[in-house]
Chains A and B, each alone.
Chain A
Amino acid sequence: MFLTLAGIRKRFGAVTALDGVSLAVDEGEFVCFLGPSGCGKTTLLRIIAGLETPDEATITLDGRDLMRVPARLRNFGIVFQSYSLFPNLTVARNIAYGLACRGWDADATRTRVEAMLDLVNLRDYAERRPHQLSGGQQQRVALARALAPQPRVLLLDEPLSALDAKVREDLRTEIKSLQSKLRVTTVMVTHDQHEAMELADRIVVMNRGAIEQVGPPRELYDRPANRFVADFLGRMNAWPDRDGRPVLGVRPEHVELVAAADAADGANGVIRGTIERVVFLGSVTRVVVRAGERPCIVELKGSRLDLAAGQPVALRAPGEALLRLEKPAA
């Protein structure tokens, strides 16, 4: 393994931010820390960067102990949520900053800065000051600045959160293509499940200072380890099974809707209910069905003009779509 974290603990006063977190990241991999605010994801990223000192931790890079290497010498690139470009330096000098720290000569620096500007499509902005750029452009420069010194690991701390929705999506795509082109090991923190699912090779779902589950987006979605992961990535209908202990779940898009009249009474896996609400969301229609005590969410493709509140319906969940959800680890 390239980057390994073991037994990371961190307390802030009475609050436990990280409770023994361990993780291994492969070289060239893109890993996302996903979780609600306060789950410890940003603290974990800052500990990897060396900006925060953990109470207990083992961190190695390529088999070498990182704990005694100060942040300055780790050669990790970082992009923050807030715009962190040095306001008194031009775009070019911002990008050259890390090179100057490493004693690059003028020629090598110029070549590298130009290459980085091309990489983020900001060639004409070299002599601008940060305050003359839009938020999206500033974050692209921050990315170029972080990548310029050829970092061993790229750390992204919610780099898209401060941007408008449209800019955020464009930049998301750009980050993904940059990362696959450069194959730089990347760790990103986010609270946005779509961001994580689009970008990550593996997602680390965190909750209350601990890791709930680690895996590729697809695996986490299809086989969530517990209720927390299931609810955090997408939506999940959940019921206690017959014994009442473990929980059964099914994704809204896997539930099938059958006209009440067509459903044979007592047929296997059919539940009767009444439509409570129909929400049209464009590409899908979300139907909330009241069946017994809890509502069940059903998502159907396209618009469904035939459905209306108050209509009796029957639901069917195919056996292969049913998931067994354990209790959350934390």
Chain B
Amino acid sequence: MSAAAAARSRPGEPAFDSDRALLALLLAGVAVPLLVFVVWPLAEILKLSFDTPKGLGLGNYAVYFATPKFARVLVNSLEVAVCATLITTVLAYGFAYAMQRCLPRGRRVLGAIALLPLYAPSLLQALGILFLLGRNGAIARTFGVDIDIYGFTGIVVADVFYAFPHAYLILSAALAIGDARLYESAEMLGAGRARIFRTVTLPATRYGLMSAVFVVFTIVITDFGNPMVIGGDYSVLATEIYNQVSGQGNMAMGAVIGVVLLVPAAIAVFVERWVARHHHAVLGDRSDPLRVVPSPARDRVALAYSALICGAIALIVLVVVVASFVTLWPYNLSMSLRHYHFEVQNGLAPLWTSIGVSLAAAVLGVVVVIVGAAVVRRLGPVLTQALYFLSVLPAAVPGMVLGLGYILAFNRPDNPLGFLYGSLAILVICNVYHYHAQGFLIATTAMSQVSRVFDEASTCLGGGLARTLGTVTLPLVAPALVSIGVFFFVRSMVTLSAVIFIVTPATQLAAVSVLLLDDSGNQNQAAAYSVCIMAVVAVALIALEATLALVRHRGGMRAPQLAAA
């Protein structure tokens, strides 16, 4: 087409705007799967929990609360969650303070070690603690003492480590920003350190604190792997669902317990979302950023404290690694690779299955959340709210509840999507929608860094939605895309709770193998399998860092340049 002809052919008056059609198509493309793979399974659980021989009613709940054992399970869960939440939040606040407001030596290394639990299978904490403090643990054997770590104490300790990185990341973000003027005024007024902390630091970080409390509460109350390994007879809601469904085939009671678990988790998540929205107001645009100045005494205390915490976190991972490479922990510490001959269904095959499923989840996850974030950016306020709600809803759904929902929704002949059940595809889909909320939030945050002026400039130049996304928006958020992909990959490698219900012998996953090995009393092989998973995750993280470094090097772009001045 010649230049002149092209210029004359516009503007036209199309009877049908292809851009609006594409937007509608993409909206359907993200909303319909959310309805099918999140809302529908949830609805099935609710329906089953209210389904009694006498029609819909509260009969099942009456049975649940009238059974002392079940009532006890709810109390157990709440006890564990409240205790672990308080301990984790306090420890993580101190640690985040040491990282952000002090200058201990080796700050970067310490901060990295604190994140280790994120990259391990979700039952690794309990496994490591048992190697140290269990009946046949290092301490018991070395000192001949009998420690009873199983049950409440064990779960709380394991979950504190398990949830620690999440709390640390939130509190670290809250403590990273601060208004220097407030601190200067407080100091000028003669306030001491304790008073400044109480009157300036604590109030400024209260939203971060509340966020951390609710996030940790949700993580702990929905945790399945650690209570399975270290809980003993002490049953919590997540393990009881498994017990009812897999052990006794009682779907209805599983559904009731699922709803009992869903309620506190959902409340915590929505309170947290509400709190997070108020997070931004803490720092005005006229604030001066806080600069941390060295203070030898304070920095030494910070180093001692953070080294202690990191030491404990690293010890748990290390003991699992060591136990996997010795003949028989803790009796015979000679090197051996015998635990890497796995006596479990399909041997090492599940690890490869996990890698394949995780890669697929990474690709699908990136596409789903980035399209969701792009669509949300272009919709009117009402549809935006609705899609946003749908997109973050999975955060409120415990993995065990989602997994059970998948059985109820897809394991039946009358479902046209029933063919998915038992396939690898449903594992990929389950992982994508299990972690959809977090991925979506990273994607919308990255997109919001890209100024809307770019969209408008592209539109006025004649660029449609597809071109704007492909040529401008997506290249600008490319580093975030890689991060989101790795996020989905890592979560899919280590998660246990949702997929435990939908794996089959043919589609066994690595994290499930760890649980099976532990369940059959093969703790050393469970450790070895965990080490394999962690090695894969480490490779993914190194690849991420290398890619980001390459992008930074080649693009020569720094984050602020994403936004128009």
Contact = CB atoms under 8 A, between A and B. Distances in A.
Interface in B441-459: 451, 453-454, 456-459
B562 interface: yes
A74 interface: yes
B476 interface: yes
B17 interface: yes
Given A72-B459, A101-B461, A162 B565 contact: yes
Contact of A75 (B11, B13, B467): B11
Nearest to A138: B565
B463 A101 contact: yes
A108 B462 contact: no
Which of B20, B459, B464 has the most CB atoms of chain A within a 10 A radius of its CB? B459
A6 B12 CA distance: 21
Given A51-B460, A108-B3, A162-B565, A88 B12 contact: no
A244 B178 CA distance: 59
Contacts of A104: 1, 3, 6
Contacts of A66: 11
Contacts of B461: 77, 97-98, 101, 145-146, 149
B474 to A, nearest CB: 10
Given A97-B461, A101-B462, A131-B557, A69 B3 contact: no
A88 B476 contact: yes
Contacts of B467: 100-101
B3 to A, nearest CB: 4
Contacts of B457: 78, 80, 84-86, 142, 145
Contacts of A74: 10-11, 460
A76 B10 CA distance: 10
Interface in A83-102: 83-89, 97-102
Contacts of B562: 87
Contacts of A191: none
A176 interface: no
A145 B457 CA distance: 10
Nearest to B9: A102
A236 to B, nearest CB: 36
Contacts of B343: none
A86 B17 contact: no
Contacts of A135: 565
Contact of B475 (A88, A105, A155, A162): A88
A51 B453 CA distance: 11
Given A88-B472, A131-B557, A71 B460 contact: yes
A46 to B, nearest CB: 8
Interface in A144-164: 145-146, 149-150, 152, 155, 162
Interface string B461-485: 1111001000110011000000000
A237 B65 CA distance: 85
A103 B6 contact: yes
Given A49-B460, A86-B471, A64 B13 contact: yes
A68 interface: yes
Interface residues of A, number: 50
A169 interface: no
Contacts of A142: 457
Contacts of A76: 460
A68 B20 CA distance: 13
Nearest to A69: B11
Contacts of B565: 82-83, 135, 162
A44 to B, nearest CB: 16
A38 interface: no
A83 B564 contact: yes
Given A75-B462, A88-B555, A131-B557, A68 B13 contact: yes
B7 interface: yes
Which of B17, B451, B461, B472 has the most CB atoms of chain A within a 10 A radius of its CB? B461
Contacts of B475: 88
Contacts of A71: 456, 459-460
A112 B3 contact: yes
A73 interface: yes
B248 interface: no
Interface string A20-64: 000000000000000000000000000001110000000001001
B14 interface: yes
Contacts of B6: 99, 102-104, 149
A69 B16 CA distance: 10
A97 B454 CA distance: 12
Contacts of B564: 80, 82-84
B415 interface: no
A316 B476 CA distance: 65
Given A101-B463, A103-B1, A104-B6, A131 B454 contact: no
A73 B12 contact: yes
A65 interface: yes
The 4 closest A-B pairs by CB, nearest first: A101-B462, A98-B461, A75-B10, A150-B7
26 contacts: A49-B456, A64-B13, A70-B19, A74-B10, A75-B10, A75-B462, A77-B461, A78-B457, A82-B453, A82-B565, A84-B457, A86-B454, A86-B457, A86-B471, A87-B476, A87-B561, A88-B557, A97-B461, A100-B467, A101-B464, A102-B462, A105-B1, A108-B3, A135-B565, A145-B457, A162-B565
Interface of A: 49-51, 61, 64-66, 68-78, 80, 82-89, 97-105, 108, 111-112, 129, 131, 135, 142, 145-146, 149-150, 152, 155, 162
Given A88-B475, A102-B1, A162-B565, 5 more contacts: A61-B11, A64-B13, A70-B459, A82-B451, A152-B11
